[in-house]
Amino acid sequence: MAIDLKQYLDLPHGDMPGDKVEIGEEHVKKALVIMDPLMEKLEPLLEGGKAVIAVCGGSGVGKSETASLISHMLREHGIGAYTMSGDNYPRRIPMYNDAERLRIFRTAGVRGLVKNGEGTMEHFDLLRKWQEEETDADKTHVEECPWAASYLEAGRKGLEGYLGTKNEIDFDEVSSIVKAFKSGQNKIYLKRMGRTDSELWYEEVDFSNIQVLVIEWTHGNSDNYEGVDIPILLNSTPEETLAHRRARNRDGKTDSAFTMLVLELEQNLLKSQAHKAQIILSKAGELLTYEQYEALMN
């Protein structure tokens, strides 16, 4: 099916400052696949008020593009829609949050070494060298230095206790926005967060003609906030996610060992929440049942 992309080039997109949204033919095809089951689920919800859709998935899978297209296609159906980016709601701006993730990993890792009786100065000196090289999360170190397994295991557990939790993200603020929207509040202040400490502000948004709030967010299907009516999971394997990040060139360390660990833990979170998704779409753009999703991921 040939698609004319011109009509999709200048769509309003999510409200994350500086986010790159580049809509391609594959995004349009996926959005079109989603729309039929989405409308079937959405129509009864709109009879009684407003609805919230969450478009979730791994980093670089196309959440921003797909959510923007869904909002556009809803507007074409005469349904007012607004696309909100969940990436505006971490407790720290990206540069500080990235540093906090690394601090937690390394602090927990060092404590793990000590707890397991591996905290020698010889080990710490080599570990410091790896940290300076930014390779301390690399699993291959264990082949020559078996003691590094204690560092990696403890660091991983520490990071699991932070990523996607209320320690990292202000889920309460997102819940309050969803609640205000569903209650019919017409003017809601939404957070705007860029990538530096000078890019933080709030903007009043008019929701008086909006029936559907579309939240695009890795953690859109999380148990840590309430009010989502239709979670949509855009699935991708960790390898596919990394390929997307490289193509998007979102940061300069897309394939570092630490980044791969973060992506792996994010993928595990998505898997643990996938049973709640009402619509699951594969990387190839095919609708999946939860059973098919499980088989694919296993």
pLDDT value at 242 more than 80: no
Q: Do residue 85 and residue 98 come from a single domain?
A: no
**Burial class for 48, CB neighbours closer than 10 Å (0-12, 13-18, 19+):** exposed
Q: What is the pLDDT of residue 128?
A: 97
| Distance set, CA 221 to CA 56, 197, 215, 229, 243 (Å) | 7, 28, 10, 10, 23
Domain total of the chain: 2
Instruction: Count Cβ atoms below 10 Å from residue 104 Cβ, excluding itself.
Output: 19
Helix (H) or strand (E) holding 53: strand 51-57
Q: What is the pLDDT of residue 252?
A: 52
d(CA 148, CA 141): 7
Average pLDDT over every residue of 73-93: 96
Residue 176 lies in a domain: no
**Burial class for 255, CB neighbours closer than 10 Å (0-12, 13-18, 19+):** exposed
Q: What is the pLDDT of residue 194?
A: 86
d(CA 127, CA 135): 9
Instruction: Count Cβ atoms below 10 Å from residue 157 Cβ, excluding itself.
Output: 13
Q: What is the pLDDT of residue 249?
A: 55
pLDDT value at 152 more than 70: yes
Lowest mean pLDDT among 16-20, 37-41, 66-70, 178-182: 16-20
104 and 157 Cβ atoms separated by less than 8 Å: no
Amino acid at 229: D
Q: Do residue 115 and residue 211 come from a single domain?
A: no
Average pLDDT over every residue of 130-155: 97
Q: What is the pLDDT of residue 59?
A: 84
Q: Do residue 195 and residue 254 come from a single domain?
A: yes
pLDDT digits (tens, 9 = 90+) for 100-138: 999 999 999 999 999 999 999 999 999 999 999 999 999
What mean pLDDT, rounded, does the chain reach? 92
Tokens encoding 18: 């500086």
d(CA 250, CA 125): 32
d(CA 94, CA 196): 7
Q: Which runs of E-coded beta strand occur in 99-220? A: 187-193, 200-206, 212-216
Question: Which residue would you say has higher pLDDT here, 11 or 114?
Answer: 114
- Give Cα 154 distance to the centre of its chain: 24
Confidence bin at 14 (pLDDT 50/70/90): confident
Residue 178 lies in a domain: no
Q: Do residue 101 and residue 84 come from a single domain?
A: no
pLDDT value at 243 more than 90: no
Q: Do residue 53 and residue 29 come from a single domain?
A: yes
Q: Do residue 79 and residue 215 come from a single domain?
A: yes
Host domain of residue 140 = 94-160
Confidence bin at 23 (pLDDT 50/70/90): confident
Helix (H) or strand (E) holding 152: helix 148-160
**Burial class for 214, CB neighbours closer than 10 Å (0-12, 13-18, 19+):** buried
Average pLDDT over every residue of 218-243: 89
Q: What angle do CA 123, 124, 125 make, to 5 degrees?
A: 90
pLDDT digits (tens, 9 = 90+) for 27-37: 999 999 999 99
Domain boundary among 143, 160, 177: 160
Domain boundary among 160, 178, 209: 160
Q: What is the CATH number of the domain that holds 251?
A: 3.40.50
